[in-house]
Structure 1
């Protein structure tokens, strides 16, 4: 077939499956048209890259797209097809926005020479059209950075020494099976994070650097996503950032200064690993004692963990800040807090506060508190069911 005929075939398939009435019947019609035209593959791939680019222009990033594809369709084959299109589209640019390289590294890897598991032509065309239909329906969301091709400041190679030390501490915390040691290491990491933040704030003030708040998105996956969002919010708040959870799309947007965002991403990822491991151990102990635990136990555990670890991180940060009373520090930090709050309000003019609900297992709550704060005894634990996700959810 000629290129013009192939283009017509693709347009007819799209008209039936993506834009026409009767979605399911149209999907079969479109897939049949594509399956009957062996030359449609190249044109179909190019159109897919266009849809991906439109997603970038609506505020989406590679990790956001993959999260929705895997959740609403399947990782195989839809996720693999999406990953291949994303790599092809982003390969056109010499430089990518910050954090995009890491997101591309995390994309599903090709599982066959063709990039996806072997499918017949009709099944493959159906999967592609289902994916394109999802991409077309992605709504605009808050942009957290430039799109590929826009002028961006290139990041300095490597990472600050403080972040390397924090990463090493958190790796040790994840590796140990001794809870008090893990908590002590996490507290030390928070101490270093706060010192790093204070140093960055003072340096920016002294050099009159044009340092402004930025934003990033962090996935919050099911199950127990409300409790996980609360954990991220606790980490963000302790590090002078704001977190806003979008429950519909499965991510939180964290707003803060760049050095603080990097630390929040590191600590949140580590604490999520640690809390899951601690929950697994607690469940095993409960079963060994003859008590069968369920989803309510895990929900209560993670909610309590998020609440108590938030208290602990905030206390460490406050102590470090109090010891760093250099001239002009408090006004500098206050100005940065105002800037972060202002940027958050600009991005999310309407939010609601979400509370962790369904926390009814007292044993789960007690175990979660103990896992987060085993080395320190306190009677200030909030009553079950009252853990709050500060920052809220966009209306």
Structure 2
């Protein structure tokens, strides 16, 4: 089960009935009724659970935490029952507990854990309007990256992600030229799987930077928020490169230690960043409208940087330590082999 040690004083004032019922249950000690299915939960507890959870769920949804994002957050904090209670939108407790074959104690614990998630969610960045590559171009990027991930030939792989980056850059340049009026940058969370999330966040950052976006890592929840445009494509490229990096890291016969693997990922991200910047710069150089583009891109960068500074006014830079020279060398070699396009 999830963490049971949260104070009822953290609950909203509207949940006083729920908090009181929890205290009564605590005073009951080892009352066996709370440990057996079928015990009728006190009415004030059932009503209190609704009053506590539903307003917080509404606030989370309005604040940029849709069900899919809540699922990601819950999976990193609580067990499947508390996560289910959140995703079921705070259902009536007796019926929900019976559906999941939970004892009253387990059901109450799930509600408390769900409240803990809702009360500690970080503020969602705004604006959250989504701008993306059109479906046709996004399909081409997706196809290139799928081919990159499936190939067992490093030489073939090397060109594919670069081609994907080139397509993304061309689309971004075209949009900057034809945009009738500047739009607000969009924002998106990219969730990272443990371990080595700090090293993996560097890869998200270099992909974002190459696509004229800004990124910030939240180590408490293991996600990176990216601010800018074409975020669907940024997420696709990041996911593909993480798949390729993990596969290469695991396949390396020397890659057994944590120090090696973390150094590998840091080096991989650093080298990928260099390659993506080169690919983006080459595309810009080859564009015949470079004279028109430069002021438009400067305006775009100012817009993104301003939005990022508004959303995250207190961002602090943090370095990642590399402790394995062998891992660094292996990561750089793997990044040189990574497929960036075709």
Q: TM-score range by the shorter chain?
A: 0.7 to 0.9
> Do residues 277 (structure 1) and 240 (structure 2) align?
no
Cα distance, 1:115–1:46 mapped onto 2, change above 3 Å:
farther
Of the two structures, which has the highest relative contact order with CA contacts closer than 8 Å and spacing of 6 or more? 2
Cα distance, 1:212–1:115 mapped onto 2, change above 3 Å:
farther
Partner residue of 1:215 out of 180, 183, 187: 187
Partner residue of 2:222 out of 247, 250, 254: 250
Deviation per residue, 1:209-255 (Å, 9 max, x gap): 34231211111332101111100000000001000112122211111
Partner residue of 2:300 out of 316, 330, 336: 336
Cα distance, 1:144–1:62 mapped onto 2, change above 3 Å:
farther
3-state SS, counterpart of residue 193 of structure 2? coil
User: TM-score scaled by structure 2?
Assistant: 0.80
Superposed counterparts of 1:80-119, under 5 Å: 80-85=84-89, 117-119=100-102
Partner residue of 1:317 out of 251, 259, 280: 280
User: TM-score scaled by structure 1?
Assistant: 0.70
> Do residues 138 (structure 1) and 132 (structure 2) align?
no
Equivalence for 1:364: 327
> Do residues 267 (structure 1) and 274 (structure 2) align?
no
Paired with 2:138 and 2:338, the residues of 1 have a C-alpha distance of 25
- Is the 2:189–2:225 contact (alpha carbons within 8 Å) kept by the matching residues of 1? yes
Paired with 2:278 and 2:28, the residues of 1 have a C-alpha distance of 58
Equivalence for 1:240: 212
3-state SS, counterpart of residue 266 of structure 2? helix
The runs of 5 or more residues in structure 1 that have no matched partner are: 1-9, 89-112, 147-152, 287-291, 377-395
Equivalence for 2:4: none
- Is the 1:302–1:368 contact (alpha carbons within 8 Å) kept by the matching residues of 2? yes
Equivalence for 1:201: 176
The aligned length equals 316
Deviation per residue, 1:244-275 (Å, 9 max, x gap): 11212221111112xx2121111111111111
Moved more, 247-256 or 137-146: 137-146
- Is the 2:261–2:327 contact (alpha carbons within 8 Å) kept by the matching residues of 1? yes
1:115, distance to aligned residue in structure 2 (A): 9.8
1:321, distance to aligned residue in structure 2 (A): 0.6
> Do residues 224 (structure 1) and 193 (structure 2) align?
no
- Is the 1:183–1:373 contact (alpha carbons within 8 Å) kept by the matching residues of 2? yes
- Is the 1:35–1:125 contact (alpha carbons within 8 Å) kept by the matching residues of 2? no
